[in-house]
Amino acid sequence: MMMCPTQPVCGSQGTSTGSSVSSVLGAVGGTITVLGGIGSIIGVLAKTGVIVILGVSAAAAIWIGAVIGAVLAFATVFTFYYLRCLSKPDTLAACSAGVVEQLIPAFSSASEDVFPFTAQHDRVDVVVKCIYWPLVQINAAFVECNSDPDGSPILRGYYHNAKVCGAGLGSTIGAGVGVVAGILAGAAIGAAIGCATIILCLFALLIALIVAAVTVIVAAIIGGQIGKAAASAPPSPVADDGNTIHSGDYVTTQGGLLTSGDDDGSRIYWFVEHTTLHGHSTFSSPFDHTDPDANLLMDACPVRTPGGPPR
Amino acid sequence: MAVLFTVWRHSLCAVTGAIAGAFAGAVFGLLLTTAIPPPVITAAERLEIALILAAAAWLILLLILASWLHYKLAAIWLPALVNAVITAVLTIFLAYVLKAFPYLAPIVGAIVGTLVGWILCRFCEPRSLGVGK
């Protein structure tokens, strides 16, 4: 009989988290603040003058609004790419084992197909053996649990997917190309609305900003689809032996753990580096931790796992 | 800015409020530069401008949070709307007081939004918004 530690409380742990969600949103907020401030300074210096660029004539404020929209959209696209593929966050080397509850492949949602730069890497949710509960709980702002009667804790693992990074790079290049076109289009349409009244002027600024941003996003979508198509990756995560991972598989996963705002502040593998398959459960989803506790006695983890109890 | 970034990293509501505020402040700041001296805007017009900017900021927040970051729309649309409206109204009226310095409007908006969002967050925690589902 396996001795289990105290089961973590599901949901919020009452602590906050440094998170990649906040990084995306923080980048947007910071970019708007800085660009808006700089834009207004330039607007004051331009003294309400009309500027003509490449045949497009518009008030300085309209041009600045279009620049803010285009640069903001580019910064947002690049931030996604940076967080998904370029950043190297600190992680804790760890190993755990359990039964796979579900797989969420990259590009499995409509929004990730439409906006490829937002795609997340392949995700595998594992109901872990109870001896690995400390890995789920320590430094977590949130504990994800399964829908089984026991509310068994889940440890999510992300598998690096080259198509996600291909799409991110393609989107960033596309967005960069779209910036100039976006600024020209936004300024032209904003100028057409004009500043006859204060409310019309507000709409001119808003439309200039939005048209520029949408143009950049459309260019990012086109670039992202090209980048996604150019990259190659298996359709779903595979174990070290080359076999595809399925729901119900007993697995041992090894990789780096961190606290992720993209996952409510749960502890996750970013990324799973090694996966060992140990066969398939005879039970059906939703899986309970007692299943791997009883049927996966010998997993592939070392005798002692960082952050966990001695075995 | 460093203080704001620190708060934003620890509060989703604060950073969404800051985006709404910075957006409203940036557009309003530009609006103030369209005339010298800055145009006289009545209180009713300021309220109208604030609500238009709140609506635009709300749509931007919904696009980013629900579509791109996979938060559940049902869980966020109302908090984001309340956050955006309160933040935009306060930002526009405060920025108008400081209309001689339009370049401060986005910063005023970011600070106001951070405070409004942080306070509103007290009413939401510790509920999960269903991210990543």
Task: Give per-residue pLDDT as tens, A187-218.
Answer: 999 999 988 889 999 999 999 999 999 999 99
**DSSP state, residue A219:** H
Q: What is the DSSP string of B6-64?
A: HHHHH-HHHHHHHHHHHHHHHHHHHHHTTSSSPPP--HHHHHHHHHHHHHHHHHHHHII
Q: A29 phi and psi, to 5 degrees? A: -60, -45
Tokens for B45? 């017009």
Query: A11 pLDDT band (50/70/90 cuts)?
Result: confident
- The predicted structure's pLDDT at residue A304: 57
Asked if A11 reaches chain B (Cβ–Cβ under 8 Å), the answer is yes
- Taking the CB of residue A93, how many other CB atoms lie within 10 A of it? 12
Q: For residues A132 and A16, give the distance between their C-alpha atoms in angstroms, rounded to a whole number.
A: 22
Q: Among A35, A78, A202, which would you mutate to test the B interface (most chain B Cβ atoms within 10 Å of its Cβ)?
A: A202
β-bridge pairing A266-280 and A154-159: parallel
Q: For residues A279 and A243, give the distance between their C-alpha atoms in angstroms, rounded to a whole number.
A: 11
Residue carrying the six token digits 């398939």: A280
**DSSP state, residue B65:** I
> CB–CB of A33 and B33 under 8 A?
no
Tokens for A100? 């796979």
pLDDT at A253 over 50: yes
- Three-class secondary structure of residue A138 per DSSP: coil
Instruction: Name the residue with higher pLDDT: B38 or A159.
Output: A159
> CB–CB of B18 and A29 under 8 A?
yes
User: Domain boundaries in chain B?
Assistant: 14-121
In sequence order, what are the residues at sequence separation of 6 or more whose Cβ sits closer than 8 angstroms to the Cβ of residue B14? B7, B8, B113, B114, B115, B117, B118, B121
Nearest to B104 by CA among A61, A60, A37: A37
- Three-class secondary structure of residue A56 per DSSP: strand
> What are the chain B neighbours of A203 within 8 Å (beta carbons)?
52
> What are the chain B neighbours of A263 within 8 Å (beta carbons)?
131-132
pTM of the full predicted structure? 0.86
Over the stretch A259-294, which tens digit does the pLDDT of each residue have? 887 787 889 999 999 999 999 999 999 999 999 999
How far is A36 from chain B, CA to nearest CA, in Å? 4
Extended beta strands in A118-230, E state: 122-128, 142-143, 154-159
pLDDT at B132 over 50: no
Query: B100 pLDDT band (50/70/90 cuts)?
Result: confident
> What are the chain B neighbours of A28 within 8 Å (beta carbons)?
19, 64
Cα angle: A97, vertex A100, A105; to 5 degrees: 125
> CB–CB of A22 and B9 under 8 A?
yes
Tokens for A307? 């952050």
- The predicted structure's pLDDT at residue A149: 92
- The predicted structure's pLDDT at residue B35: 78
> CB–CB of B132 and A263 under 8 A?
yes
Average pLDDT over residues B82-87: 96
Kindly identify which residue of chain B lies nearest to residue A38, measuring between CA atoms: B103
Kindly identify which residue of chain A lies nearest to residue B61, measuring between CA atoms: A25
- The predicted structure's pLDDT at residue A21: 54
Asked if A262 reaches chain B (Cβ–Cβ under 8 Å), the answer is yes
> What are the chain B neighbours of A205 within 8 Å (beta carbons)?
27, 30-31
In sequence order, what are the residues at sequence separation of 6 or more whose Cβ sits closer than 8 angstroms to the Cβ of residue B47? B89, B92
- Taking the CB of residue A138, how many other CB atoms lie within 10 A of it? 16
Kindly identify which residue of chain A lies nearest to residue B64, measuring between CA atoms: A25
- The predicted structure's pLDDT at residue A217: 97
> What are the chain B neighbours of A64 within 8 Å (beta carbons)?
30
Over the stretch A125-152, which tens digit does the pLDDT of each residue have? 999 999 999 999 988 888 999 999 999 9
Inter-chain Cβ pairs, chain A and chain B, closer than 8 A:
178
Burial A282-311 (b: 16+ CB within 10 A, else e): eeeebbbbbbbbeebeebbbeeebebbeee
Over the stretch B4-60, which tens digit does the pLDDT of each residue have? 777 777 778 888 999 999 999 999 999 998 877 788 899 999 999 999 999 999 999
> What are the chain A neighbours of B5 within 8 Å (beta carbons)?
26, 30
Instruction: Name the residue with higher pLDDT: B72 or A98.
Output: A98
Q: For residues A209 and A71, give the distance between their C-alpha atoms in angstroms, rounded to a whole number.
A: 10
- Which residue ranges form the domains of chain A, and what is each CATH number? 20-85+166-229 (no CATH), 91-161+232-295 (2.40.50)
Asked if A115 reaches chain B (Cβ–Cβ under 8 Å), the answer is yes
The rounded Cα A71 to chain-centroid distance in angstroms is 20
The answer to whether A266 and A140 are in contact (CB under 8 A) is yes
- The predicted structure's pLDDT at residue A1: 54
Can you name the residues that pair with A156 across neighbouring β-strands?
A125, A268
Tokens for A67? 């620049």
Q: What is the DSSP string of A85-128?
A: II-----EEEEEEEEEEEEE-TT-SHHHHHSGGGPPPEEEEEEE
Tokens for A260? 């992720």
Q: Which ipTM was obtained for this model?
A: 0.86
> What are the chain B neighbours of A220 within 8 Å (beta carbons)?
none
